[in-house]
Amino acid sequence: MALERVFGIHAVKTILKHDPTRIRRVMVLKDRDDQRISEILDELNGISVERYSRQKLDDLAQGGVHQGIMAECNPAKPKDERFLDGLLNDLDSPAFLLVLDGVTDPHNLGACLRTADAAGVHAVIAPKDKSAPLSAVASKVACGAAEVVPYIQVTNLSRTLQELQGRGIWITGTAGEAEQIVYEANLAGPMALVMGAEGKGMRRLTRESCDFLVKIPMAGEVSSLNVSVATGVCLFEAVRQRGAVKG
């Protein structure tokens, strides 16, 4: 299995904090020993450190901003249905889940993970088929969120949604033709927000598993938003409502 590279101070610190066993070695810019780098090196606990020239690190980062540090890691592995059951059993607050149906672009997956982390989502769920893998690209775009927010891939998404409903979790789907605007919907309780692939939207069985559908009002010429942008709009409307309930 090919190793992946995680680069940048924040990304390396995050994986070191949450999943250090994945790190095989750390590569650092020659002659860089400032406090931020030194703090990371002090926490490596025996992990191999190698020094490289700026040109070499630039080449390894392939255009990314490495900030003088990079970690070579075993690929992250998605969680499964058993992990989801345990997570839901242990929750002490209303479930707040994001479901991605047919999102195959790793950039979009990474952006959705980053937004989910910022919104306080408990987990991101996707089907095993026709979904983006938790790749180095997704992890890079996620800016550390891939190590914090569980990414759960399930065998049968419609069955998983039905099981969530059995736990009292409302399934809110998004569709351009929905009658209800997202700002008018009740998103304050236990819920799973379902976002479909750009262009195609949710698959039929996924749509049929939803309790209700919502849409984002569009005032301009474009008919839809990028899935990660739309995810942010809907998740933070839920955050607003859930915060109001707590208050």
Which CATH number do you get for residue 54? 3.30.1330.30
Coil, strand, or helix at residue 20? helix
What residue numbers bound the domain in which 198 lies? 81-246
pLDDT digits (tens, 9 = 90+) for 59-106: 988 877 889 999 999 888 889 999 999 999 999 999 999 999 999 999
User: Are residue 53 and residue 99 in the same domain, yes or no?
Assistant: no
> What integer best gives the mean pLDDT of the chain?
91
Q: What is the pLDDT of residues 108-120, one digit of tens each?
A: 999 999 999 999 9
Do 127 and 236 belong to one domain? yes
Better-predicted residue by pLDDT, 26 or 222: 26
- DSSP character at residue 184: G
Count of domains in the chain?
A: 2
CA–CA gap between residue 111 and residue 103 (Å, rounded): 11
Long-range contacts (CB closer than 8 Å, 24 or more residues apart) made by 12-18: 12/40, 12/69, 12/70, 12/71, 13/39, 13/40, 13/144, 14/144, 14/147, 14/148, 15/71, 15/73, 15/144, 15/147, 16/40, 16/43, 16/44, 16/71, 17/147, 18/147, 18/148
Confidence bin at 227 (pLDDT 50/70/90): very high
